[in-house]
Amino acid sequence: MEPLNALVSVTNFMLIPALAYGSQLALGALGITLIYSILRFAHFAHGDTMAIGTAAVIGGTFFLQAQGVSIHPLPTALLAIPFGMLVLIGYLLITDRLVYRYYRRVKAKPMIFVMASLGVMFVTNGITRLFMGVGETRFEDGERFIFSVRDFREYTGLAEGMALRSSQAITIITALVVMVILFWFLNRTRAGKSMRAYSDNEDLALLSGINPERVVIITWVITAMLLVTAGTLYGLDKGFRPFNYFQLLLPMFAAAILGGLGSPVGAIVGAYIVAFAEMGVTYAWRRVFTYLMPEGLEPTSMMQLLPVDYKFAVTFAILVIVLLFRPTGIFKGKVL
């Protein structure tokens, strides 16, 4: 029995990746929940919006690299994030002006908004592919590892190794910082309070002199910042492919619904639950149990509950369970 080795193995192959993935999902799910509580529709273009923002960051990164700018050991992409944010803020505000504002004015049904976001998704998807193609683009540079498997083994003398990739560490830290800033903004600033007021009760907010159009603009700006951060972190971690970003839509929605649509804390908690469930169910536990079980009783199979290809099924199962037993989510969202 070697519990320490088992712990290291779980941390290396499951906990760290799940924590990083969960952080990326959390930022995306926060965007979904914000749009939902202010604009009151399910934003289907979310994944592709994330992709186009990341594409802008990648463009900026390549430009900076060509100029010889570098912040080694950190990836250059971090420097390009503000540029990506500006581009995406512009893009979202233009789509809002051209598409969604009209439907707000005529007070269209939520489903019409969803349909319009579908159209925006098409267009966004097309633009992204026009620039980036469909293949994978990698744009990470700088130091790859904070410590590698070999360093860890030499340092601790354990049989099992553990590595911390810098992209994972950056993801977890950045996500934390962003969340803290977001909550400070929502709870302490005038603009944040007006957003929450508007989300609670539209009419009352109007009566107290809150300008709805301004609230909407702030929402898009925050969403753009969240999405660019999340997309860049995801791309640094796993590489950029437009289709993967589209597919993130389902886990992000599952996270937001699980936490309770409209509840920012819920979105974060939901994202980590979804990430850990996906990783836990598709992880091959054989190694861990080999260390944990007494000698002679080692497992012979992979001890994997589901093949990795079915990670969407895990997300979906979570979604179904939530819808069946607690449609309002863990933290009572405002809607059913």
Partner 1 sequence: MSLTARDLGLFALMGAVLAMVGMFQSPQLAITILNMSLISAIMALGVNMQWGYAGLFNVGIMGFTAVGGLAVVLIAQPPVPEAWAAGGLGILLGLMLGVATILAAVAVYKSMAPGKLRGAAIFVVLVIGYLLTSYVFGPAKSAVQAVNPASEGYLGGMNLPVILAWPVGAVFAAGVAWLVGKVSLGLRSDYLAIATLGISEIVIAVLKHERWLARGVNNVTGIDRPVARPVELQPLPWVQSLADTMGWSVGQTASVVSGLGYAGLFVIVLALLIWLAERALNSPWGRMMRAIRDNEVSARAMGKNVTKRHLHIFVLGSAVCGLAGAMMVSMDGQLTPGSYEPLRFTFLIWVMVIVGGSGNNWGAVLGAFVIWFLWVQVEPAGRWFMELATSGMADGSDLKQHLLGSAAYMRLLTMGVALLLMLRFAPRGLIPER
The residues that touch partner 1, with contacts defined as CB under 8 A, are: 41-42, 44, 99, 102, 110-112, 114-116, 118-127, 129-131, 133, 246-247, 249-250, 253-254, 257, 301, 305, 307, 309-310, 312-313, 315-316, 319-320, 323-324, 327, 335-336
- Tokens for 195, please give them: 């957003």
Residue with tokens 């990739």: 165
Written as one letter, the residue type at 336 is L
- Residue 261: CB minimum distance to partner 1, A: 8
For partner 1, the closer CB: 78 or 249: 249
For partner 1, the closer CB: 75 or 260: 260
Rounded to whole angstroms, the Cα distance separating 259 from 257 reads 5
- Residue 233: CB minimum distance to partner 1, A: 23
Q: Hey, how many other C-beta atoms are within 10 angstroms of the C-beta on 186?
A: 17
For partner 1, the closer CB: 122 or 184: 122
For residue 160, which of 290, 296, 308, 280 has the smallest C-alpha distance? Answer: 290
Which is it for strands 145-147 and 164-165: parallel, antiparallel or unpaired?
Answer: antiparallel
User: Can you say whether the dihedral through the CA atoms of 236, 239, 240, 244 is positive or negative?
Assistant: negative
For residue 335, which of 25, 27, 33, 45 has the smallest C-alpha distance? Answer: 33
Residue 134 in 3-state DSSP?
coil
Q: Do residues 143 and 72 touch, judged by C-beta distance below 8 A?
A: yes
Q: Do residues 131 and 55 touch, judged by C-beta distance below 8 A?
A: yes
- Residue 129: CB minimum distance to partner 1, A: 4
- Residue 307: CB minimum distance to partner 1, A: 6
For partner 1, the closer CB: 93 or 112: 112
Per residue, the 3-state secondary structure of 46-100, as one string, reads: HHHHHHHHHHHHHHHHHHHHHHCCCECCECCHHHHHHHHHHHHHHHHHHHHHHHH
For partner 1, the closer CB: 4 or 323: 323
For partner 1, the closer CB: 90 or 133: 133
- Residue 199: CB minimum distance to partner 1, A: 16
- Residue 229: CB minimum distance to partner 1, A: 24
